[in-house]
Amino acid sequence: MTSTPTGDARGTVLVVNSGSSSVKYQLVDPASGEAVASGLVERIGEPRGAVKHVAHGETTRRELPVPDHAEALRIVLGLFDEIGPDLSAAHVVAVGHRVVQGGSRFDGPVLVDDAVEHAIEELSPLAPLHNPPNLTGIRVAQALLPDVPHVAVFDTAFFRTLPDAAATYAIDTAVAEQHQVRRYGAHGTSHQYVSQQVAEVLGRPLEDLHQIVLHLGNGASASAVRGGVAVETSMGLTPLEGLVMGTRSGDVDPAVVFHLHRNAGMSVDEIDDLLNRRSGLKGLSGENDFRALHELVDAGDPRARLALDVYLHRLRKYVGAYHAVLGRLDVLTFTAGVGENDDLVRARLVEGLDAMGIEVDPERNAGRKGEPTVISPEGARVTVLVVPTNEELAIARQALDVTGA
């Protein structure tokens, strides 16, 4: 093994996102922002798992049984050994773990210790599909990489600053407190990263900017950020609330749940499945990928047209509401799969918003954006941008902040 570190002397960070049946990873050089290697283990626990490892510009794919998360991470470390890059040579100084739910407790990244592990476990009722596999990933990675610090980076942390008026649901206080019912938000790492990038790209102090960030991917969320501090966000107790998403409904009257239970005889689990996995664009049109949705619209499919209209209407409502929350709007930013790639969604969203100072220049807006790009016309009252998100880099940098490496 060589002792030449990849990247600069600060070394690299291994970022791990451990889901219920998958583990995503990326070896990040935080100084350059480069992904030195990345990959994904899928279908953990199923008879045939799938592994993908990308390094040195080449993709290696394998199919093999992956019984559990421990084996998944062992396979990943084996691939680093076999294909590279050599983790010792890459000088891994920290492992950053994405954790979905940090509850009221975590307002930033923390070094993992027994108390942190316990807290992640205790918060599992708020994110039953995510926190348990996140914690499993942490434990397994600690056992396999015991000599480096492990840092938990919470998807909710950026929204811990929400004012009580934004975080509180108007339900009985005792019930809400006992069951920790409040707005926690999600995608916080992305909203924080993008809002900070905006200040850097514009060369303006973050403290001066009133921003709306639209994270539009398969999941979608909006946030209002004043001076770098989140003051409102569309996801709530869980990532179900807010915008119309690929397969999630976003906002519905809560009475829809009672109605379906009482009158359609659906169980709570069935309604959970309906609103999380069979709703949104998919529920409305049969398609949750925007590329396919546009094709259906072009072919005259009325359900697809309605789906797009509902999506844009909801998004516009949030932009208007957050403008009011902020009082003044300086910047509106699009990010994530749809926000970065879909110029039609961007153009249609701002239709009719010129009175609010929000408009895009058709030429600047055209096409997919792989780097931060201003798309509003010269001199526009609100600067509209596309900024690619990079949650792995954000997690890597936060992990370094904590470890001081």
Find the part of the chain contacting ligand AMP (CB under 6 A) among 11-19, 200-208, 260-268, 282-290: 282-290
Where does this chain touch ligand AMP (CB under 6 A) — which range of 32-40, 91-99, 264-272, 288-296?
288-296
Instruction: Report the C-alpha gap between 3 and 299 in whole angstroms.
Output: 58
d(CA 371, CA 386): 8
Residue 338 binds ligand AMP, judged by CB under 6 A: yes
> Nearest approach, Cβ of 291 to ligand AMP (angstroms)?
5
Pick between residue 228 and residue 246 the one whose CB is nearest to ligand AMP: 246
Write down the least CB distance from residue 218 to ligand AMP, Å: 4
Q: Does 368 bind ligand AMP (CB under 6 A)?
A: yes
Among 132, 286, 337, 357, binds ligand AMP (CB under 6 A): 337
Binding of ligand AMP at residue 341 (CB under 6 A)? yes
The nearest distance, CB 309 to ligand AMP, in angstroms, is 16
Q: Say whether residue 193 binds ligand AMP (CB under 6 A).
A: no
Is 336 a residue that touches ligand AMP (CB under 6 A)?
yes
34-42, strands of its sheet edge to edge: 58-64, 49-55, 34-42, 23-29, 12-18, 92-99, 150-154, 110-111
Residues 334, 338, 341, 343, CA torsion sign:
negative
Using CB positions, name the residue nearest to ligand AMP.
337
Give the span between the Cα atoms of 14 and 59, in whole angstroms.
Answer: 18
Q: Which residues in the 240-279 window bind ligand AMP by CB under 6 A?
A: 246
Which of 290, 311, 318, 322 is in the footprint of ligand AMP by CB under 6 A?
A: 290
* Residue 155 among the catalytic residues: yes
Q: Give the residue, chosen from 342, 359, 391, 392, that forms a contact with ligand AMP under the rule CB under 6 A.
A: 342
Binding segment for ligand AMP among 87-95, 160-168, 337-345, 379-387 (CB under 6 A)? 337-345
* Stretch touching ligand AMP by CB under 6 A, among 43-51, 170-178, 283-291, 350-358: 283-291
Name the segment binding ligand AMP (CB under 6 A); options: 31-39, 234-242, 268-276, 286-294.
286-294
| Shorter beta-carbon distance to ligand AMP: residue 55 or 308 | 308
Residue number, 330 or 392, with CB nearest to ligand AMP: 392
User: Does residue number 291 form part of the binding site for ligand AMP (CB under 6 A)?
Assistant: yes
Instruction: Kindly state the number of chain residues that form the binding site for ligand AMP, as judged by CB under 6 A.
Output: 13
Q: Is 298 in the site for ligand AMP (CB under 6 A)?
A: no
Q: How far is the CB of 220 from ligand AMP (least distance, A)?
A: 8
Among 39, 188, 217, 283, binds ligand AMP (CB under 6 A): 217
Identify which of residues 73 and 345 has a Cβ nearer to ligand AMP in the complex: 345
3-state SS string over the chain? CCCCCCCCCCCEEEEEEECCCCEEEEEEECCCCEEEEEEEEECCCCCCEEEEEEECCEEEEEEECCCCHHHHHHHHHHHHHHCCCCCCCCCEEEEEEEECCCCCCCCCCEECCHHHHHHHHHCHHHCCCCHHHHHHHHHHHHHHCCCCCEEEEECCHHHHHCCHHHHCCCCCHHHHHHCCCCCCCCCHHHHHHHHHHHHHHHCCCHHHCEEEEEEECCCEEEEEEECCEEEEECCCCCCCCCCCCCCCCCCCCCHHHHHHHHHCCCCHHHHHHHHHHCCHHHHHHCCCCHHHHHHHHHCCCHHHHHHHHHHHHHHHHHHHHHHHHHCCCCEEEEEHHHHHHCHHHHHHHHCCCHHHCCCCCHHHHCCCCCCCEECCCCCCCCEEEECCCCHHHHHHHHHHHHHCC
Nearer to ligand AMP, 323 or 346 (CB): 346
The one catalytic residue among 86, 107, 114, 155:
155
Q: Write out the catalytic residue numbers.
A: 155
Q: Write out the residues near ligand AMP by the rule CB under 6 A.
A: 217-218, 246, 288-291, 336-338, 341-342, 368
